[in-house]
Amino acid sequence: MAYRPSTRRRLAQCGPGPLRIGLLTITWLLFGAGTAALANVGLPNADQVVIDGKTWTTNSQFEPLGSPDAVAGGKLRTSIPNFLPTLRNDGPNSNLTTITDIYALTHSSLLGIHPETLEWIPGVASHWIIEKKEDHQVFWYRIDERAQFSDGTPITADDVLASFEHLVDPDIKDPSMTKLYQDMYEMPVVHDERTISVKTKKLNWRLFLYFSASVMIYPAEQIRIPGDVYLDEFNWKMIPGSGPYELREDSIQQEISIKLYRKKDWWGSKTRSSKGLYNFDEINLIVVRDRELAFEKFKAGELDYYTVMRAQRWAEETGFESIRNGWIRKQKIYNEQPQSFSGYMMNMREWPFDDKNVRLAFCYGVDRKTLFDKLFFNQYEYIDSYYPGGRWGNPGNRKIRYNPRRAERLLDRAGYTRRNENGIRVHETTGKALQFTIEYGSDSATRIHQVVAEGLKKIGIGMGLKRVDYNALMKKVGERQFAVHMQAWRGILFPNPITSWHGDLANLPNNNNISGIAIAEVDRLMEQYDQTFDLAEQTEIIQTIDELIFKEHPVALTWYGPFERILSWNHFGQPEKVISRTGDDHAIWSYWWSTPELQQRLAAAKKQGRSLPVGADVIDPWGVKARMDSAEKSKE
């Protein structure tokens, strides 16, 4: 499917074991063919068309995304770790990757980005114009005359206007999104039923990207309501979209599952953008809160695929009969997903992490080496930046590794100079013990937090562990009722620091500035970053932002891995590259397919005890592993 960049990072809805985040470098993908891709998100196959005296751009020559061998039909069953707290894509409790993945199938944006080439491709809009003025830009869109919502009503320019009005309504209680769209755009102007334009309030090289690919289009008749009414009315009812899938009356089984149905009369089914994609008639997202149980359900045939997050499992628990016989495929796929960071987010607003010395001591106390050696089979990379794996991260950031001696000196400096009978450090003035509890929502995280807690105990920090309901935890984190919180983020294609680090968000609930950082120089640099169209300058600014944030240590950074490890029952057709270049395992939902013949082949093989062909178990379509191996050899 087309890549739809978000204006913000999304919380990865899974347990940290190991953490799922956006992966690896996209340096070659973005910049190997030149810098134009970043400045204008390239248009190598663009067509120019004159309509009513204006020259419009479209794209009808791009390589189709899906496989030409794909066949429509069949069902896909997969698991999600928790039931969703809402069916909204914005507002409180909506900032989850599972919600993003659902909306990628049920709702459409004006344009998309080709995941292989980064060129613009049509969405709800068939044509577009970018006008660059001295101090602003104007974007024009022409709505595809075929575009419809799931209820059959045509999409109009007024629907786009109403969708924008919704985003800038402060009563939807999504402050980072509202701030971005209020600060960056004038109110869009409807010119006729199919034509709309929007003027930016300033020059910003990412604003065409955000308006084109991140604004979800909703029907004006339903979305043009007060924000507080919207939050109540659509908390458990999805507002109609224009994507290939929809929710129906039987889609929601509270705390059990969410089922997506493919629309047989979807307006986009004949477009070039959808060739070979959106093949399953049904996609059933089954709630399985425990990763161990999900693995057992997969082996029992109750789930169709399983993404292996634990290196130990991949190394030691994937040699069972179904894999040996090829009834289950075992595939490790390297690709170029956008990357982000993960780690222990410290609440800087309150004790004890309002003290920088304590934060830095905590960072030195997180024993990643023991985790790498004993649990992760050394398959992962250290994160030393808030923009890891590519050109955006500051290479000069300090490499923080487990160091009890240095951590103890920092705690002494913070006034925690003695220990109590339990070995926990106590403040020399207040007498307060340096002890707190981390709450977490997944059983699979326990083994990781236990190792970290043991390392912290050695330096005199007491971190208790408490398993809680995931949705309740997300509510508490949104309301800033936590001391430390483990979080992974999904990366976005182009950095947008404003929604994660802007000082205006530090003391507001329900946004991505979880730790509460506020640095005036970072806020100033964000403005500068938005206004430059020069790649080298953009890179320098983000690296400086990374450096300034890193020096405050709001997060004890953890690890990432440049691949997806997928087990799947061998009754699926797959494209040659298995998943998309910039996607994660959820690309399966759009790219794979199944047929009765493939299902019968698997059933017959199991009954007769014979093997099936599976192909390579390590897949490197874009040369990611090869480049990593080459770089490793150069260090020797």
Question: Higher-confidence residue: 527 or 77?
Answer: 77
Structure tokens at 350: 């309150």
- Grade residue 599 by pLDDT with cuts at 50, 70 and 90: very high
- Grade residue 531 by pLDDT with cuts at 50, 70 and 90: confident
- Residue 1 has a pLDDT of 60
Q: Are 12 and 95 in contact (CB under 8 A)?
A: no
Calculate the alpha carbon distances from 272 to 5, 63, 68, 249, 481 in Å.
20, 8, 12, 30, 47
Largest interatomic CA distance in the chain: 82
Mean pLDDT over 423-432 rounds to 97
- Residue 631 has a pLDDT of 65
Domain ranges of the chain: 35-262, 290-335+563-635, 342-560
Instruction: Give the whole-angstrom CA distance, residue 631 versus residue 636.
Output: 9
Mean pLDDT over 13-32 rounds to 30
- pLDDT over 90 for what percent of the chain? 74
Mean pLDDT over 603-625 rounds to 94
- pLDDT over 70 for what percent of the chain? 92
Helix (H, G, I), strand (E, B) or coil at 530: helix
**208 exposure class (CB count in 10 Å sphere: 0-12, 13-18, 19+):** buried
Using the predicted structure, report yes or no on whether residue 582 has a pLDDT greater than 80.
yes
- Residue 632 has a pLDDT of 63
| 167-215 pLDDT per residue, tens | 999 999 998 889 889 999 999 999 999 999 999 998 888 899 999 999 9
Using the predicted structure, report yes or no on whether residue 15 has a pLDDT greater than 60.
no
Mean pLDDT over 453-457 rounds to 97
211, containing H or E segment: helix 207-213
Using the predicted structure, report yes or no on whether residue 9 has a pLDDT greater than 50.
no
Q: Which of 297, 251, 279 is nearest to 75 (CA)?
A: 279
Q: Which of 46-60, 581-595, 603-617, 619-633 has the lowest mean pLDDT?
A: 619-633
Question: Higher-confidence residue: 243 or 97?
Answer: 243
User: pTM of the predicted model, to two decimals?
Assistant: 0.77
CATH of domain 342-560: 3.10.105.10
Instruction: Give the whole-angstrom CA distance, residue 385 versus residue 514.
Output: 17
Using the predicted structure, report yes or no on whether residue 536 has a pLDDT greater than 50.
yes
CA angle 393, 394, 396 (to 5 degrees): 145
Quote helix, strand, coil % in the chain, to nearest 5.
35, 20, 45
- Residue 371 has a pLDDT of 95
- Residue 4 has a pLDDT of 53
Q: What is the mean pLDDT of the chain?
A: 90
- For the chain, how far is it from start to end, CA to CA, in angstroms? 40
| 305-329 pLDDT per residue, tens | 999 988 889 999 999 999 999 999 9
Using the predicted structure, report yes or no on whether residue 450 has a pLDDT greater than 60.
yes
- Residue 152 has a pLDDT of 94
Q: Which of 32-41, 360-369, 504-513, 601-610 has the lowest mean pLDDT?
A: 32-41
Structure tokens at 257: 């599952």
Mean pLDDT over 375-395 rounds to 86
- Residue 634 has a pLDDT of 67
Q: Which of 38-42, 228-232, 350-354, 490-494 has the lowest mean pLDDT?
A: 38-42
Q: Are 380 and 560 in contact (CB under 8 A)?
A: yes
590 sits in the region (left: phi over 0; alpha: psi -120 to 50; else beta) called: alpha
Mean pLDDT over 580-603 rounds to 95
Q: Which of 44-48, 267-271, 401-405, 611-615 has the lowest mean pLDDT?
A: 44-48
Using the predicted structure, report yes or no on whether residue 471 has a pLDDT greater than 50.
yes
Superfamily covering domain 35-262: Periplasmic binding protein-like II (3.40.190.10)
- Residue 612 has a pLDDT of 97
Q: For tokens 């013949």, what's the residue?
A: 597
- DSSP secondary structure letter of residue 249: T
| 499-516 pLDDT per residue, tens | 899 999 999 998 999 999
